[in-house]
A = this chain, B = another copy of it.
Amino acid sequence: MRTLQVDLGERSYPIYIGGGLLAETGEYFERHNLAKKSPLLIVTDEHVGPLYLSKLETSLQNSGYRTISKVVKAGEKSKSLEVFEEIMTTAIEGGLDRHSVVIALGGGVVGDLAGFVAASYMRGVKFVQIPTTILAHDSSVGGKVAVNHRLAKNMIGAFHQPEMVLYDVDTLQTLPERDVRSGLSEMIKHGLIWDKSFTDWCRDQSDKLLDLDPESLVYGLTLGCSIKAQVVSTDEREHGLRAILNLGHTLGHALEATGGYGQFLHGEAISIGMVAAAKIAVNRGRDQSIYLVTKDLFERFGLPTTIPSQMNEDDIIAAMMHDKKFKENQIIYVLPISIGEVEIVNDVTADDVRHVIQELKEEGQHV
């Protein structure tokens, strides 16, 4: 078991990463002095709930906690204001008070959704994350919580740091293969923006990671979380450096929105986005190897690196225009300088993006 401290002053919190943690949740809650008189609300989804909810409830109840739970539909579509309101109803009817804790048991969607509930219920209650996906290693660091608006992703949200994160890698063993790949996409991103040696490690370990080897997972998740924690500690509210975490996300979010939040998993969309960012960097004069290495890396993990030919450039660009990464109508773009190092630029034009979309569509047709 590894413990990683996310350093944010009085909002600092630990991430516990290891096996068997779910059954020890009650003890962790006691160790963190979380109130026993107030009911806890567990938010999970219909995939994760049947597998792990009763184990979590049992552990909490054995330590004397009262729990209520809300099971939402799996998938990005639950990150809506409608589902948010349903959870609020459950919370009010269940008698949650200001000392209650909201627990997210699930992946990034459940974490973002339950986190925004915790941030806004009675103007903010405590929050604990129990991620059950690899992808969630990303959202479990940094306190960004949100729901989607039909016009753009993560548009309605808050910064709300958890009390702790309990990362039980045993829960990853039941992940569908596509979700494994999607999750590893964010892990790889953390190498690409910060640490060439971690990128090399990811490539070398691709088979073990895809096979969910526990030791590789604990190491990779700890490194991934640690890189994110270093960035977030420097810039909690995304005024500067934190933007490098958006590598691949400008185009990635637009692909997700254009596909109706159903066609691509998040990790798949940003895989394409990172390959596109590498291509834009090369088109602007960086070494061709950046594109080739990036593309090869994601292909090793079975992640998409091209854009389906039926997707329309104009739709994708329009979705980008609605995205938060626009600052006074300029695109803020994260581009690789080399493997393990990125820069934030503000002079990428819509035409540059349109051009690379066309290139990645053509690339897809050659396969």
Contact = CB atoms under 8 A, between A and B. Distances in A.
B156 A88 contact: yes
B119 A89 contact: no
A327 interface: yes
A93 interface: yes
A158 B145 CA distance: 13
Contacts of A321: 95
A37 B328 contact: yes
Nearest to A145: B123
Contacts of A121: 155-156
A6 to B, nearest CB: 18
A120 interface: yes
A324 B122 contact: yes
A241 interface: no
Given A88-B149, A149-B92, A151-B93, A124 B324 contact: no
Interface in A114-161: 119-124, 144, 146, 149, 151-152, 154-159
Select the residue from A84, A151, A156 with max chain B CB neighbours within 10 A: A156
Interface residues of A, number: 39
A122 B119 CA distance: 14
Given A81-B85, A85-B81, A89-B149, A158 B124 contact: yes
A98 B324 contact: yes
A330 to B, nearest CB: 9
A99 B151 contact: no
A327 B151 contact: no
Given A81-B81, A88-B149, A123-B144, A98 B327 contact: yes
A120 B152 CA distance: 14
A97 interface: yes
A158 B328 contact: no
A322 interface: yes
B120 A157 contact: yes
A37 B146 CA distance: 26
A219 interface: no
A165 to B, nearest CB: 19
Contacts of A38: 328
Contact of A97 (B124, B156, B237, B327): B327
Interface in A310-358: 321-322, 324, 326-329
A127 to B, nearest CB: 14
Contact of A326 (B85, B97, B237, B329): B97
Interface of A: 35, 37-38, 81, 84-85, 88-89, 92-93, 95, 97-99, 119-124, 144, 146, 149, 151-152, 154-159, 237, 321-322, 324, 326-329
23 contacts: A37-B328, A38-B328, A81-B85, A85-B149, A89-B149, A89-B151, A92-B152, A97-B324, A98-B324, A99-B327, A99-B328, A119-B158, A120-B120, A120-B157, A121-B156, A122-B324, A123-B154, A123-B158, A123-B159, A124-B158, A124-B159, A124-B237, A158-B158
